[in-house]
Amino acid sequence: MDTKSTKKRIVSTVIFFLFLLSSTASADSTDTVRVAIPAYPSSANILEPSGGGSILFGPLLHQSVLRLHLKTGQYVNSLAESVTIMPNKKDIRIKLRKGPKFTTGDPVTAHDAKFTHDQILDPSNANIFASFAQEIEDYEVIDDYTYIVHFYEPYGPWRQLLLHGVCSKNYFEKVGKEKFGEAPVGSGPFRLAKTQKGEKYVLEAIENHSDSKIGYKTLELVAVPDEMTRLAMLETGELDLVYNILPHQLQRIQKNPRIKIKKTDQYPSLIGVTGNIVQFPIMEDKKLRMAMQMGVNRDEIVQQVLMGEGYPLYQDASKIEMGYDPSFKIEFNPVKARELVKASSYEPGTPLIMSYDQIVPMAEVVAQIFQRYMKDIGITIELQRLEPVVRATYSRTRDKRLGHLSLYSFAPGVDPYYRLMLTIVSDGPYSPFPNRQNQDQLDALCNAQAREPDEEKRLAILKKIQSLISQDPASVKLFGIYMIYAMRDHIDYTWVPRAAGPAGLYDIKIVKPGKTAS
């Protein structure tokens, strides 16, 4: 046998096995954590956010004045040393901590907070926070670490404004808008290291960060649009963390000993069916709408469709939203529902068109089971599937092609301000029922909660709003779905309560396989 050939084969074999070993090792690396994101944000610049970039990059690259507590989900100070509502109830005095710095070495100051506010309001940035920021009359900088936010009027959801990351004024002015957009810097626990367009963002942990001690070096946010591909990559170790897992997908990964599964109900989720009352007078009939409320077995939907991975909802509020009342229930009573249908102006056999799109989890199944419930109480429903953009356009323009009913998914945040002002007040652009019973009183209460900065007083107003809506509801709330997420067993992560996205990724712990961080 040729000695040289033999040596070559041995070397090739060794190199091949070393490659396999290195590939296996990198799959569960303690230096890099790979998190799947459903879509690739077109920018990491939170001053002009798009495609979900603000939710992802805000808490990773930047610190904010307030943040959600990692364990409780409550508002707590971050950059702030103190936040005080002034005696006039419309101004907020903020004192920043001394110590936090941008990755450029510059301290985070009140001037940076004012600069960020000005950029949010710049129309060319199309910042989603602009509608909040427009409530601010002026930013008064007292000194480098103290400023006062002057609102035009008392403003209920002021805390939401303080969740926006603070950006560096000096860096922006030094490098310009374009460079800042390509390589934004902040004072957060990570810096943006690399961008692979359309594929992933690579972030590096800041060593010796003053507030966050990160247990790994690199965070990769990997865009994987397909649900099943995300799970497959989790199984092979190409991904370390996957979220937004649907209940019927759990069986696939439950038997894998290298995967840990977690769930939480402290996540913004509200799925329901709304009546398009402006377009169709038949939907003004209160008896018909109350029949729909009583004709749906929400518990059965949770068990059969969600496989128990959710909870029934009866009111216009997600479980994590301020003002949610866990004691409020609607009786499932098909007998009473049939009586209400017969007493209504609905003509038996008349088809009511119901539209749905795939934004709602398991939309087709949910639509079909709602159709079945309505048939049981004497209401005929015909289903039509629309593309999400088309359905949103029909809804905004009040187009009759939307149909009598719409299956919808709404992920409101902690604060109900947006939901109330968009969908409940009579002049709200998405209000399906602007002339409901007691609408004048409802409008007054919605405006009152928007102007009440005191949380306890605001909660009392929200309770009154819920009571009025329940007396004459425009929509049938169905359920909320758990946030289900899974990870490789060498890491441990817990979803931040009340967060809409994967906040607190800097708090991921590297653990021994099979263990959970204490």
- Work out the mean pLDDT of the chain and round it to a whole number: 89
List the structure tokens of 34. Answer: 């790979």
512 pLDDT band, cuts 50/70/90, is confident
Query: Of the ranges 21-30, 77-86, 419-428, which one carries the lowest mean pLDDT score?
Result: 21-30
- Domain CATH for 361: 3.10.105.10
The answer as to whether 488 is a domain residue is: yes
- pLDDT band at 410; cut points 50, 70, 90: confident
| Domain presence at residue 49 | no
Taking a C-beta distance cutoff of 8 angstroms, is the pair 367, 356 a contact?
yes
pLDDT, tens digit (0-9, with 9 covering 90-100), for 340-393: 999 999 999 999 999 999 889 899 999 999 999 999 999 999 999 999 889 888
Q: What mean pLDDT is predicted for residues 30-37?
A: 94
Residue 418 and residue 446 share a domain: yes
- For residue 385, give its domain range: 270-481
For 250-276, write each residue's pLDDT tens digit: 998 999 999 999 999 999 999 999 999
Cβ-contact 150, 138 below 8 angstroms = yes
The pLDDT value recorded for residue 61 is 95
pLDDT of residue 48: 83
In a domain, residue 368? The reply is: yes
The pTM of this model reads 0.88
CATH number at residue 230: 3.40.190.10
Helix/strand/coil for 181: helix
Q: What's the rounded Cα separation, in Å, for the pair 325 and 314?
A: 9
Task: Using alpha carbons only, give the angle 342, 423, 414 rounded to the nearest 5 degrees.
Answer: 120
Tokens standing for residue 29: 């690396």
Judge if 169 and 73 occupy the same domain: yes
Is the pLDDT score of 12 beyond 60?
no
- Asked if the model's pLDDT at residue 105 lies above 60, the reply is yes
53 assigned to some structural domain:
no
pLDDT at 56: 83
In the chain, % of residues over pLDDT 70: 92
Distances (CA, A) of 61 to 42, 103, 204, 306, 497: 16, 10, 10, 35, 20
Phi, psi for residue 409 in degrees, rounded to 5: -125, 130
| Amino acid letter for position 64 | S
C-alpha to C-alpha distance for 141 and 151, rounded to whole angstroms: 14
pLDDT confidence of residue 208: 85
In a domain, 4, yes or no: no
Q: Note whether 307 and 393 are same-domain residues.
A: yes
In a domain, residue 396? The reply is yes
Give dist(CA 221, CA 294) in Å, integer: 44
Residue ranges of the alpha helices (H) in 49-108?
53-61
**CATH number of the domain where residue 138 is located:** 3.90.76.10
33 is written with which tokens? 């954590």
Same domain, 150 and 246: no
Are 146 and 165 in the same domain? yes
Domain count, the chain: 3
Alpha-carbon distance of 248 to 513, in angstroms, equals: 26
> Domain for residue 17, yes or no?
no
> Would you say residue 307 lies in a domain?
yes
- pLDDT at residue 16, rounded to an integer: 36
* CA gap 373, 381 in Å, rounded: 10
Q: Please check the confidence at residue 23 and state whether its pLDDT lies above 60.
A: no
Taking only the tens place, the pLDDT of each residue in 442-489 is 999 999 999 998 889 999 999 999 989 988 899 999 999 999 999 999
Which two three-digit tokens encode residue 259? 């995967």
In terms of domains, do 286 and 220 share one? no
Same domain, 236 and 147: no
- Which of 508, 511, 444, 414 minimizes the C-alpha distance to 220? 508
**CA distance readout (Å), 69 to 78, 196, 496:** 9, 31, 7
**329 and 433 housed in the same domain:** yes
